[in-house]
Structure 1
Amino acid sequence: MATSRAGRAGGAGAAARLLGYLESKKNLAGSACGLAGLGLGFAGVGGSFWPVVVAGLYGAGALIAPPERVDPPHHPDAAEQLGVVREDFGRLREYLAEVDLPPAAGGKLAELMELYAALLDPGWVADALAAEPEWVHALSRAIRLDVPECVDTYNRTRWWTRMTSGAESPERHLERQLVVLYDEAERVTAGLHGVEAGRQQTHTTYLEERGRS
């Protein structure tokens, strides 16, 4: 049965490729030249070799036809990526609503999520963030990978602590991880502030120079 399905799939692929070639510029150009050759054959040009003339003209037409244009792959820009990150952030919130964390880590996580929400909230802040692909990537990585991994490894590791002792507690590791992520988010925030402050300074300089001229 698997063989028959593979055979059908292969046949469908071959039919699609054949149809694609029939509709291609190469076939259309070759067919036009071939028809011209057929007309020459009816007119007596080429004598008994008219099939060769037709085939030759078809091949020549196919060769000189411009190649089919293949659209380059689309890579979303930073603004589109930020929209996707915003959707991922919504899913992260839903996930975190179902987990139980210790008070200290839960409080730090709440602060982190508030900071992410402020950065992603549609408006001029998000517009400024979208203009910085590296910061969009950092935020995306934290939301998609880092925060879920922190919470998941905490939940799995704390089960083993019931049978072991002496190691640093999973709660402490989780707190340390969240502190690092919060510091990273604050660096993004500070960077955005620096960009806006630079714009303001540039405009001030421009106005002062215009006033002196």
Structure 2
Amino acid sequence: MATNKVLSLLESRKNLTGSAFGIAGLALTFAGLAGTYWPLVVAGLYGAGALIAPPERPPAPDFPDPAEQLGALRGDFATLRAYLTEVELPPAAAGRLTELDAVVEALLEPGWVRDPEHVHVLSRAVRQDIPEAVDSYVRTRWWTRVAPGSQPPERHLERQLTVLYDEVTAIAAALQDEEARRQQTHTHYLEERSGPREP
């Protein structure tokens, strides 16, 4: 532990810069410019170098990039799908879930989603929102059978799945707009590169 601290101190920017200034002080001494006060000159230049050196900066955390996150998310999506095959849902909710599933599957294909915010929305939908919506429906449905008269749980499930569907289709629409702009930009570039067309 102490050895690591000594090594980090020796390799620090302050020590390296101070040492470079101290060597310059020694050079002045050997050139005869420092006089009898050369130890003070060397020490002073070392201190000045240590003071002006840029501060140490800890390395930034290395988080996985969106592509790596999506790789793990695809596995979780497969797990979610396996869970959903075991749940009996009302027809309307099952239809909405099928639509939602298709959009999420398309977005999780490699090479499409790169925005960290989009990755976050997909991750939240797959790992939290969809399983929570379905599980709360199953639990509430059981209690509704025991104590009828409350609002049907399938209505809440349909509303929740609709909100989630709107969220993921917004991502798909943003990607579509991005690709359309990219295509238009490339068209303009090619037309400008080839020059004006003959009438």
TM tier, shorter chain?
A: 0.5 to 0.7
Deviation at 1:97, TM superposition (A): 1.2
2:147 to 164, 171, 185: 164
The alignment yields a C-alpha RMSD, in angstroms, of 4.1
Is 1:173 matched with 2:161? no
Distance across 2 between alignment mates of 1:18 and 1:122: 47
8 Å contact kept, 2:20–2:49: yes
Gaps of 5+ in 2: none
Deviation at 1:71, TM superposition (A): 5.3
Question: CA 1:95–1:137 in structure 2 vs 1: closer, same or farther (change >3 Å)?
Answer: closer
Q: Partner of 2:80 in structure 1?
A: 95
8 Å contact kept, 1:116–1:185: yes
What are the equivalent positions in structure 2 for 1:93-172 lying under 5 Å apart?
93-99=78-84, 100-103=86-89, 104=91, 105-122=93-110, 126=112, 129-130=113-114, 135-172=118-155
Give secondary structure in 1 for the equivalent of 2:163.
helix
Question: CA 1:83–1:167 in structure 2 vs 1: closer, same or farther (change >3 Å)?
Answer: farther
Distance across 2 between alignment mates of 1:212 and 1:144: 57
Give secondary structure in 2 for the equivalent of 1:97.
helix
Q: Partner of 1:4 in structure 2?
A: none
8 Å contact kept, 2:140–2:153: yes
1:183 to 137, 153, 166: 166
Distance across 2 between alignment mates of 1:138 and 1:177: 15
What are the equivalent positions in structure 2 for 1:1-213 lying under 5 Å apart?
12=1, 16-34=4-22, 40=29, 45-46=35-36, 51-68=39-56, 80-81=65-66, 83-99=68-84, 100-103=86-89, 104=91, 105-122=93-110, 126=112, 129-130=113-114, 135-196=118-179, 203=187, 210-211=196-197
With normalisation by structure 1, the TM-score equals 0.61
Deviation at 1:53, TM superposition (A): 4.3
Question: CA 1:21–1:162 in structure 2 vs 1: closer, same or farther (change >3 Å)?
Answer: farther
Give secondary structure in 2 for the equivalent of 1:20.
helix
Q: Partner of 1:6 in structure 2?
A: none
**Deviations 1:133-191 (Å, cap 9, x if unpaired)?**
66555434423432232133334434544553322233332222112322333344344
Distance across 1 between alignment mates of 2:43 and 2:184: 72
Question: CA 1:136–1:95 in structure 2 vs 1: closer, same or farther (change >3 Å)?
Answer: closer
8 Å contact kept, 1:109–1:178: yes
8 Å contact kept, 1:135–1:188: yes
Distance across 2 between alignment mates of 1:30 and 1:201: 56
Deviation at 1:26, TM superposition (A): 1.8
With normalisation by structure 2, the TM-score equals 0.65
8 Å contact kept, 1:46–1:53: no
